[in-house]
Amino acid sequence: MRRGSYNTSLLRAAIEVAPEDADVALWDGIGDLPIYNHDLEGADLPESVRRLRVDWAAADAILFSTPEYNGSVPGGLKNAVDWASRPVDRAALRNQNVAVIGASTSQFGALWAQSDLRKLLGVAGARVIGDELPVNRAPEKFDAGGNLIDAELFALLRLTLERLVAESTPIAATAS
Q: Report the number of distinct structural domains present in the chain.
A: 1
pLDDT at res. 176: 58
d(CA 167, CA 132): 16
Nearest alpha carbon to residue 5 among 142, 164, 109:
142
Full domain range(s) for residue 76: 6-175
Mapped onto helix, strand or coil, the DSSP state of residue 124 is coil
For residue 119, the domain's CATH number is: 3.40.50.360
Is residue 1 situated within a structural domain? no
Is residue 21 situated within a structural domain? yes
Q: What is the pLDDT of residues 151-163, one digit of tens each?
A: 999 999 999 999 9
Alpha-carbon distance values, 14 to 6, 38, 87, 141 (Å): 12, 34, 30, 14
pLDDT at res. 12: 95
Q: What is the pLDDT of residues 101-140, one digit of tens each?
A: 999 998 888 999 999 999 999 999 999 999 989 999 999 9
Alpha-carbon distance values, 125 to 3, 94, 121, 137, 158 (Å): 31, 4, 6, 31, 25
Check residues 168 and 154 and name the one with the higher pLDDT.
Answer: 154
For the entire predicted model, the pTM comes to 0.91
d(CA 111, CA 15): 22
